[in-house]
Amino acid sequence: MDALKETQHYKIYWYDDEQTILMGEAYTGWTWTSANEGVAFINATLEEPSKTHDTYVIIHLTTDAQLMPRNQSTFMALRNLIQEDPKHEQLTIYITGASVLNTLMKIVAQLYRIGDKTTNYRFVQSIDEALRIVHEHKKSRSTPPPPPTK
């Protein structure tokens, strides 16, 4: 797929033709500033007036991008990244080997009283796992409710 936005630190593109999965790839040397720019672009894309269906976001921290930058407070930086809540976003799935990110996001959500937004985040090790989660979530949302009991 063609990139919607690409810099030396990240690339953002639609993963599928139906535009239900927005992929962001972070590369070596990313900074909190580039992360904020990328997330702002993703959020703006999800808020476009033409965007009317549910979307899943997959953020792939490539092998060389696993370490978080050290030039800013990690808690403040993560707060800035997770406080937005685009209306059509269903889940955000991070592909990363760094399980500390999950713990830090939960701490930040509690510390800054952002709410339990971290329930919309998943952390996996591979693109296959991320796509399986998207498929299962889509399937669970399309299953009709059981008939009412009398």
Q: What is the pLDDT of residues 15-47, one digit of tens each?
A: 999 999 999 999 888 888 888 899 999 989 988
Domain 3-142 indexed as CATH 3.40.50: no
| Rounded Cα distance, 25 and 5, in Å | 11
Has residue 118 got a pLDDT over 70? no
The one-letter code for the residue type at 38 is G
Q: What is the pLDDT of residues 124-136, one digit of tens each?
A: 889 999 999 999 9
| Rounded Cα distance, 94 and 101, in Å | 9
Q: What is the pLDDT of residues 61-109, one digit of tens each?
A: 887 666 667 666 777 888 777 777 676 678 888 888 766 776 777 787 7
Has residue 59 got a pLDDT over 80? yes
Q: Is the dihedral of CA 73, 59, 128, 54 positive or negative?
A: positive
